[in-house]
Amino acid sequence: MKKIFYLCLLFVGALSVQSCLNDLDTEPVVELTLDELLAKDPNAIEGITSRLYASFALSGPDGPESSDISDDAGESPFLRGIVNLQDFTADAMKNRWGDDGLDQLTTTSNWDENNKFFRYMYNRIYYTIPQTNNLMQVLNNVDFEGKTEVSAEVRFLRSLAYYYQIDCFGKGVLATEENIGTSSPLPESSRLELFNYVESELLAIENELPTTNDYGRANKSVGRMLLAKLYINAEVYTGTPRYDDAATYISKVIDEGGYSLSNDFVSNFSGDNYSSTEIIFPLIADADISQSYGNTTYIINGSLSTETMPINNFGATDGWGGHRSSKAWYGLFNKVGADATDDRAKLFWTEGHAYEMADYKKWTDGYPSIKFRNSNFSGTSVASAFSSTDFPLFRLADAYLMYAECAVRGAAGTDMGTALNYVNKVRTRANASTINSSDLNLNFLLIERGRELNLEGHRRSDLIRFGKFTGGSYLWPWKGNTLNGASIPSTYKLFPIPLTALEANPNLEQNPGY
């Protein structure tokens, strides 16, 4: 299925849909009309939509050196940006390379509008959105079997891109198929306006998305999961809590999605994780067909080094020696390594490495994470330079912990007994001890989310939602560019709007504090 999914990209050459980052209103350039294309090959629509899905995992359609945008093909893919901005800016993961702005992320300090990693994410978001708009404009004028479901998938992907704009930058422009062709720069839309738009889109397509879909494509549960994430962060995004709504939709995911926890935690992060019963929405990788320096290749190779580790054991032929976790992550466990009882605490490489990260640029300071690996969980596999491990953007364990959080926050329709059961399911699967109802509080849940979900693109958003990201109430190694951590300003809850975006659209204003 993974190979079929990416082979569909070959169809894209028949329909050229183009966009320019400096002109969000670019008209679609179509060599064949969609109805003509579908008449020649009814399956072509799968290839076109697959191209949109791939924009979240790949740099471009022609291999790891190709790029959809003018930025560096290796550094700028969407998933790489999620890891850089969500995990490296937070407490758990640190990167040692320090190249041209990466130090600013890993030390959560000195952020400014010229940092290329902020630009990469912004540009990727506003590459994907116009592509979905162009396709929606075409879809609105043709008829074919399954059109409603395809249109809903495209609208989901647009909503997913806007979700990251809301979370990372807070505001932007609202570009849709309705304003394609507008000659003047689009006006700035506030965080609330973008929130309301994404909410309305996800509500509108909830019953249009298929109940089940091909692997790697959106179904009802995928749309509901994104809506629940929007609602659980609503107080941060809009100032108004929406935990009742978050509970409603996360319950639908749990009760109606048909997912179950995988028997083994590590199986969700191995080269054959496409067989997981737990992953709700993956970003697909394939070492042969969808090579990229920006999908899980970045996580796996970046966390390995022949200096201290047998990288072949983890299915890799290259180790880049970049990422190590700090004690803010492995310190959440009583023990780490072989002596740990919690399976998740065994996923750190400790041999040859120091517990303390006295120097975040020194490879042997801190423990590399071996949570993600390119080796198969079941059966044999061959080590490769690129990863075949899919990235679990949404999975059931996250849904369980989201439900529990909603319950602790007093959301209507939740039950603390059910919440406790969900949390203990997650912990039992990891061979961690169960907890009692007296243990279930917000502080515990933030820690448990760290143990369960780190390196999955949630940590910065979690810390902000729990009031632990900015200020000095919670410090971690190298926060504020200080060994033992220092307070950072509240303005860091948002990233700065990149200078290139400000120059391209005079209607945009910089976020406060930058």
Token reading at 30: 């179509």
pLDDT score at 35: 66
Report d(CA 454, CA 86) in Å as an integer: 10
Distances (CA, A) of 219 to 198, 205, 226, 351: 17, 10, 11, 43
Helices 147-168 and 44-54, axial angle in degrees (round to 10): 10
CA geometry: angle at 86 spanning 410 and 165, to 5°?
85
Q: Answer for the pair 60, 124: CB distance below 8 angstroms, yes or no.
A: no
Please write down the HEC assignment for all residues of 279-328: EEEEECCECCCECCCCCHHHHHHHCCCCCCCCHHHHCECCCCCCEEECHH
Report d(CA 181, CA 160) in Å as an integer: 23
Q: Answer for the pair 347, 369: CB distance below 8 angstroms, yes or no.
A: yes
pLDDT score at 377: 97
Report d(CA 461, CA 163) in Å as an integer: 12
Query: pTM for the whole thing?
Result: 0.94
pLDDT per residue of the chain (514 residues) written in tens, 0 to 9: 344 343 343 333 333 333 334 445 444 444 566 667 766 776 788 888 998 999 998 998 888 999 998 899 999 999 999 999 999 999 999 999 988 899 999 999 999 999 999 999 999 999 999 999 999 998 988 888 899 999 999 999 999 999 999 999 999 999 999 998 888 999 999 999 999 999 999 999 999 999 999 999 999 999 999 999 999 999 999 999 999 999 999 999 999 999 999 999 999 999 999 999 999 999 999 999 889 999 999 999 999 999 999 999 999 999 999 999 999 999 999 999 888 999 999 999 999 999 999 999 999 999 999 999 999 999 899 999 999 999 999 999 999 999 999 999 999 999 999 999 999 999 999 999 999 999 999 999 999 999 999 999 999 999 999 999 999 999 999 999 999 999 999 999 999 999 999 999 999 999 999 9
User: Residue type at 299?
Assistant: I
Of 427, 445, 393, residue with least CA distance to 243 = 445
Is the Cα dihedral 212, 215, 221, 224 positive or negative?
A: negative
Q: What is the pLDDT of residues 242-287, one digit of tens each?
A: 999 999 999 999 999 999 999 999 999 999 999 999 999 999 999 9
Classified as helix, coil or strand, 393 is strand
Q: Answer for the pair 130, 68: CB distance below 8 angstroms, yes or no.
A: no
pLDDT score at 31: 55
Distances (CA, A) of 455 to 133, 345, 490: 31, 14, 23
